[in-house]
Structures are given as structure tokens and as C-alpha cells.
Structure 1
Amino acid sequence: MKTDKSRTRLNTARQQTARWVHLAPWLALVALLGLPPLASAWLSPAGVPQGWLLACLAQAATMIVFALSYNLLLGETGLLSFGHAAPAGLGALAAAHVFNHYAIALPALPLVGGVVGAAVGAAMALVAARRAGTAFAMITLGLGELVAAAAWALPDWFGGEAGVAIDRASGPAMSTMTTAATWTFGPDRQAYWVIAAWCLVASVAIRALSRAPFVRLANAVRDNPVRAASLGVSPARVRAVMIVLAAGFAGVAGTLTLINVELAAAESVGMMRSAAVLIATVTGGTASFFGPVLGALVWVAFSVGMASVSRAWMLYVGLFFIVVVLAAPDGLAGLAARQRAALARHGWRRCGAYWAMAVLAAACGALALVLAVQWAYALRFGDDAAGAWFATLPTRAAWGLAMAIGALMAVAFWTARRARHAVRALDRHERLDMRDRRKEAA
């Protein structure tokens, strides 16, 4: 009896732990979107959150929806698209025209962008859904470039260089049920709460969609389209539906950007934005649902935080992307999952040496890289805000800086080698433990 009760308690504890592990990312997302503005408003004498904070969080929320929509193609269906910015940009552009010509409430505007984005996705699916792999990627690249060229060829619709602007406060105002305040959506804080709410709603919807049986068919088409077709599933039809769904959520993301900046620019349909969502999704990891969320946050950290202090931020993005692809092909989420599994198998004592060496190697290598890049940019441009003083270094100081960079690189290589040895030691311990368990079982 005692054994049965202990097993029941153990199973209950495991279920509760699994439940908290499942809810933890959602709680973290809600905290990320909600707590910083509330804390900023509480600390501000005027009771209003900082504008720069709202702008950064709004970009993060928009990029989260955009990356999750892209993962419906890349992660769930195995389709590498280079034209995902087209439905996002066209959805935002159509939403801007609708908002300027009709009395539509601002919170309902992402619905318009989502419908138009889905329609654009349907048009793209007619051309691209019958192919996969490299052929699909090249078709979407061509379609994306076609839309980008049309943005400059049709200035009456796309707005030319100025784009299509909106005034958030020109739409119908809304009154809250709890207070007598009226929301005109002109202030940044009111627009941000609309964006944050839509980010959570879209994330929940994509999560529910990813657990639907139809997405399991998309996984089967991704893994083995020939076998799926032999079972009576049409791979082209499955790809077409997933393209439409992904484009619809991309239209929502594009409209959230419109709400944030009050402008639908022609650059929003260009290749640069498609590359950004690709980098964010792959960096975070396509195998995990919250991998693209993590990748979106990393992309915003580079494009907002790093870009504000250095003009070399795109170089850092490219190098970071290469390192992630080489060191963690399954993305940052996959890397975190592997480290969590290693911790469960080996414990803190065995994993501590590897983690310490890996962190030290990454820190020394990153510092050496930043010093070298900022020095090179200062010598080339001379007015780089983050490293202008590098260009005025005397000869002795320049030699000292070069030696410091070399020393940091040497430490990074040495600690990386030690970390590799620590990983091999963990593998040996795991093999020895498995052998001992087999002997005990025999």
C-alpha cells in the first residue's frame, strides 16, 4: 500500500511539474509584454511608460507573430520561403487604405490585414504549392521580388517612397467598461496594449493550430511527401493550406507594425524583411514552438539595441547567425533543451565545468570580435558613435589593443578546447553509467 501511495504521489508531482513547464513560457511571454510598461508607468512621475520602451516591446511583439507565422511554413511544413514579407506588407498596405477610407476601429484592423494576407497567400499557393525544397524557395524569391518591384512601379497604391500613412486617432474611439476613460489610440501606450493583446491572441491561435490534426498531415508531407501521397493525402493541397494560414498570420503581423509606426512603407515587402524573419526563426529553432519567439527577441535586441550603438550591427547579426547554425543547428531553443537534458542526466557538478568553460570562451571571443570590428569601423568611417576613439589611438596604445585582442582570442580558443574535453568526459560518464546499469540488470 505504501508503495502504491508513493507512486501515486510521485506521478502527481510529475504531472504538476510538467504542467508548470508547459505554462512557464506563456507566463514569461505575458510578463515580458505586460510588466515592463506597468513598471515604467509606476516609476514615471507622469504615470506614463517610456516611449522607447513601448516602441521596443511593440517591435518584439510584432516580430514574435511574424516569426511564428513563418514557422508554420519552415518548421511545420518544411517550406523555405524567401517571400514571406509579401503577405505581411500587402496586408498592412490594404489595412492602411481601409483605415483611411472607412470608419473601422483600430483593434479590428489586424483582421483586415490577416484576410488580405491570406488572399495573397492563396495567390502564391497557386504558383508555388506544387513544389518543395529548392524549387519552392526560388519561386517564393521570384514572387517576393515581383511584389517589391511593383511597390515602386505603382506609387498610387503603394505610396512611393513616402508609403501610406495613417492617423491612429482618426478612427472611432472606444470606451472602457471598467472606467470612464475613452481610448482614441493616439497615445503610444494605448496602441501598445492593442499590439500586445493581438500578439497573445495570435500566439495562442498559432499554438492551437500547431496541435491540430491537419498540421500533423503537414508534418507528414514535410518528412515524406511520397509516402503521404500513397496514403491518400495531396501534398500540394496541404502545402497550399499551410501557405494561406501562414500568410494570414503574416498579414496580422504586418498590420501590427502599421499600428506601431503608423506607416505602411514600400520597404516592408522587400527581401530584407523576409531575410529578417528567416534569421529570427532559424536562430530560435524551428522544432520548438517558442523557438521562433526566442529568435524574434534576439533579432529585436540586435536591430534595436545593437543598431543604436554601432553601425556594424548587421555584421554582428550575420556572425551570430553563422555561429548558431554551426554550433546549434536546432537553434537556441534546441540548445537549451539539450543542456537541460544533460543537467538532468549528469547533475550540476559534472555540467558546471563545461558550462563555465563555454561561457568564458563565448565571452572572450565576443569581446575580441567587438573590439576588432569597432576598431576597423572607426578607422574606415571615423565617426562611429560607439568606437570613434579607436581612430585616435596612439601607436603604443594601438599595439596594446592588438595584443589584448590576440590574448582574448587565445583564451577563447583554449577555453573552447577545454569545454570540448568536458563534453567528451560527460559522454564517457554516460557510457559508463549505461554499462553499469546493464550489468546490474543482467
Structure 2
Amino acid sequence: MSLSRVFGVGIAVLLLAGVPLLLSQGLVNAAIQMLIAALFASAYNVLCGQAGMLSFGHAAYFGVGAFATVHAMNAVGGTGLLPTPLLPLAGALGGLAIGAIAGWFATQRTGTYFAMITLAIAELLHALAPHLKGLFGGEAGISSMRMPSMGLGFGSTTQVYYLTLAWVLVSLALLYVYTLTPVGRLALGLRENGHRLRFLGYDVHRLSVLVFSISAMFSGIAGGLQVVSNEAANYVVLDAQLSAAVVLNTYIGGVKVFLGPALGASLMTFFGYAVSDLTQSWLLYQGTLFVLVMLFMPEGLAGLFRASSQLRRQIGLARLVPVLLAWIAAAALLTAGIAFAVELLQRMFSQDYRALAGATPGGAWPAIALFGRSWLPSDASTWAVPVALLACGGALVYAVRRGVEGLQSRGERGMGTAAHNAEVAL
């Protein structure tokens, strides 16, 4: 790792350590969920991004880790099988055990068949959980309490945050070290060409099970941290929605950069926390963002930093700043246009609005209150607003792309001229 990256990671850790001192308790609680989601996405990326095995049921190992942890919290008459700071170890063992068993079966096949097997295993656990009340507590789930340990009461959100932060940082460090080991490097071979690994004499099935188990173990740690934070576990943690969320978060962040999934999971978790109270359509925005990232930024949000760094080397920092500002302005215009249209349509098709329109004399559409103003759906000027915003944003995107292409071509010609002059001088 280069010195600049080490410096950047150090600054990020210091900022994370200062979160409880800078934010309210509500935002600290949101930060805990962001850290857990970041670890879960990074663990999933070990399997999906690095080994190329797309799993549709990774919530199973997150959930198993959660229930293993809550049982450890309630063991031995409620005094706890493990001290509170070590409780995620129970989640790690649970995730590792179930992951090894499920991985042995799932990795018998590859590609789409592998994905379907992982989905079937997760759905099987999700369907059985409400009926196995001794293990999963039925529909009510299982609750517990954090016990004081090592001189700490763990009754405050701040203490839980620092415990979560410590586990997430240690886990991410271990995952990074794993990527540098021979097993981690061979996992890249699984993604690129598993048949060639088999031809070279490696036991591909055993390697696949090992990678699957490592991913499930760290997913179990994330589930354990979730229980430590919430002091409860319900079979909902095994739901397919959680499996879908980690896939979306990982690809939005970027599977080719180690911290890309953590970035995507953190941002999308905060997005849900901040936007879910403002609109009923926040899941639609999340899905739209995923589609846009897959279409126009297949390397994810982390790829933006790589592209920006490459562009800076090509055109220079002085020219890069206006380009970035123009991209931000274009994104703001497009976001405003999409949000205006979605919110207006959502209110128009809501049951309350249709009932109000039916009670209006003459069948006229009543005005809709949106963004501090009233808008008439029957008025053309109402729909002209999102159209104008989208048109301006699209035009700005086109202009910026053309401008960047021109700057890049001039930069390449300049580099070619410099190389020619150097050859002549020699």
C-alpha cells in the first residue's frame, strides 16, 4: 500500500473515531448501521468481487451470525457465554460453520446454478426460521441485553459505536491481509479462469469452499454486531431483501476496489436513513441509482476516484476542477428533475389523491403541494419544470463529455510531441 493511501486511511480512521463527538446520538446510531453494512458488503465482496461467485443468499450467514450471537448473550443463565466485547466471535463461528456446509453444496456448480443454489439455501432457512422457535424464537424473535464487561457498561450508544468500529476496522484489516495471501490471490484465478486452475493441479472445489467460508464468517461477524447494537434478532435478518441489498451496495460501491463495497454500503445505508422519512419512493431512487451505476459507471462509485485521478494526470488539476464542478451541476439538475417527476407522479397515483379528485366538482384535478408550492397536474407549466431540468442536465453532460474528450486529445498530442522532441534531442 502506498504512503498516500496509508495517510488517507489514517485520516478516515481519525474521522470515524471522532463521530460520537461531532454528531447527535441519532446520527451515531445511523453510523453504527453504516459500519455494519460496510463490513457485510466487504465480506460479500470476498466471494463475489474477488472470486467471481455471485451469491443471492448471503443474508443467511449474516442471520446465522446474528442468532448465534444472541444465544451467546443469553447463555449460562443470562450472564453471557462471552464477555460483550467478544460476542461477535459467536457470530463468526456460526457464519463459518453454516457457510462451510452451504458452500460445500453450492460450489458444486458455478455461474447461474451457483447463484440459484445460494438463493435456495437462504430461502430454506428463512422459511424454516418461524417454525424452529427454539433456535429462532418464532415470529417474535429472541431478545437479550448487553452485559457490563471490562469496566464498561455498554449501555450508551457511544460505547456500542466504538465497539462496532473496533470490530469493523480489525475485520477489514484481516480481509485486506487475506487478499494478499496465496489463497486470496488464487481466488482471483477462480474469477478469471477456474478451468486453468484445475489444469494446473489445484483443488478448485476445496478452494471455492474455503473462500465461501471466509466470506460467511465475516458476514457472521457483521450479524453479531447487529445483535450487539439492537439487543434482539428476528427471522427478518434472513430475508431475501437483505441479500439483495448487499448485492446492490457492493456493486454500487465497486467490486474492483477493496474499500469500494464499504463505501457503497455506507452511502446507501445513510441514504435510506436520511431519505426514507422524506419520501415513500426512496426504494425507487435506490433502484434507479443502481441501474444508472451499472449502465454508466460499471466500476462503481469507487471507480469515479480512479477516473478522476487518471483525468487529473491527463489534463492537469487546474482544468480538472471546472470539469468536476460541471459534473456536479449536471448531476444536481438531473437529480432535481427525476425527483420532481417521481414525487409528483407518486402523489397523483396515491389513493388519497384519487379519492380527493373524485370528490372534486367537475372532475378537476386538485393542486398538489410539493417543495413548498402548489402544482396543478393539468397545467403544462407544471410538467415543463422537470422536462427543463432534465434537458439542461443532459445538455450539460453532453457538453462536459465533449470538452473532456477535447482536453484529453490535446493532452495526448502534447505528450506525443514531447516524446518526439526528446527522441530528436537524443
Q: TM-score, normalised by structure 2?
A: 0.89
Deviations 1:133-176 (A, max 9, x none): 212111111111111111223233212222111111xx35321x
Q: Once the two structures are superposed, what CA deviation does each residue of 1:109-132 show, in whole Å capped at 9, x if it has no partner? A: 100000110001101111012322
2:153 corresponds to 1:173: no
Q: What's the counterpart of residue 214 of structure 2?
A: 245
Aligned partners of 1:196, 1:90: CA distance in 2, in Å?
Answer: 21
Greater mean alpha carbon deviation, residues 149-158 or residues 389-398:
389-398
Moved more, 295-304 or 267-276: 295-304
Change (3 A) 1:236 1:269: same
Give 1:66's aligned amino acid.
F
Specify the alignment match of 1:289 in structure 2: 258
Preserved CA contact (<8 Å) 1:25 1:290: no
Within a 5 Å distance, the mapping from 1:4-403 to structure 2 comes to 18-28=2-12, 30-40=13-23, 50-102=24-76, 103=80, 104-168=82-146, 171-175=147-151, 183-381=152-350, 389-390=369-370, 393=374, 395=376, 399-403=380-384
| Partners of 2:368 and 2:377 within 8 A in 1 | no
Deviations 1:7-51 (A, max 9, x none): xxxxxxxx9xx40333303431x23421120234xxxxxxxxx32
| Match of residue 406, structure 1, among 360, 368, 387 | 387
Shift of the 22–174 alpha-carbon distance from structure 1 to 2, 3 Å rule, reads: closer
Q: Contact (CA 8 Å) 1:353, 1:422: kept in 2 or not?
A: no
Paired residue for 1:179? none
Aligned partner of 1:147: which letter? L
Task: Give the C-alpha shift of residue 68 in structure 1.
Answer: 0.8
Please report how far the alpha carbon of residue 352 of structure 1 lies from its aligned counterpart in structure 2 after TM superposition.
4.0
Task: Give the unaligned 5+ runs of structure 2.
Answer: 354-366
SS of match in other structure, 2:370:
helix
User: TM-score when scaled to structure 1?
Assistant: 0.86
Corresponding residue for 1:6?
none
Q: Is 2:87–2:224's contact at 8 Å kept on the other side of the alignment?
A: yes
| CA 1:324–1:394: 2 relative to 1, 3 Å | closer
Instruction: Report the 3-state secondary structure (helix = DSSP H, G, I; strand = E; otherwise coil) of the residue aligned with 2:53.
Output: coil
Contact 1:357-1:418 at 8 Å conserved across structures:
no
CA shift at 1:271, angstroms? 0.8
Deviation per residue, 1:406-438 (Å, 9 max, x gap): 111110111111122123213322431343244
- Listed one character per residue, the Cα deviations across residues 66-88 of structure 1 (whole Å, up to 9, x for unaligned) are 01100100111111001111011
1: CA distance, partners of 2:347 / 2:15: 35
Equivalent position SS for 1:311 = coil
CA distance in structure 1 between the partners assigned to 2:201 and 2:335 by the alignment: 51
Structure 2 residue identity aligned to 1:406: V
Alignment check: 8 A CA contact 1:144 1:269 kept = yes
Shift of 1:388: 7.2
TM-superposed deviation, 1:353: 4.7
Matched to 1:123, the amino acid is I
Deviation at 1:383, TM superposition (A): 7.5
- How many residue pairs get matched? 405
AA at the equivalent of 2:298: P
Give the unaligned 5+ runs of structure 1: 1-14, 41-49, 176-182
Change (3 A) 1:214 1:270: same
2:398 to 417, 423, 426: 417
Q: Aligned partners of 2:377 and 2:280: how far apart in 1? A: 27
Instruction: Give yes or no for contact 1:81–1:141 (8 Å, CA) kept in 2.
Output: yes
Moved more, 347-356 or 83-92: 347-356
Letter in 2 for 1:425: G
CA distance in 2, matches of 1:280, 1:380: 29
Q: Secondary structure at the match of 1:174?
A: coil
CA distance in 2, matches of 1:305, 1:256: 22
AA partner of residue 270 (structure 1): D
Q: Over the residues paired in the alignment, what is the CA RMSD in angstroms?
A: 2.2
With over 3 angstroms needed to count, the CA separation of the structure-2 counterparts of 1:191 and 1:396, relative to structure 1, is closer
Q: Write the distance in 2 (CA, Å) between the matches of 1:320 and 1:383.
A: 28
Maintained 8 Å contact 1:378/1:390: no
Q: Mean alpha-carbon deviation: is it higher for 276-285 or for 391-400?
A: 391-400
SS of equivalent residue, structure 2 residue 217? helix
The offset of 1:398, in angstroms, is: 5.3
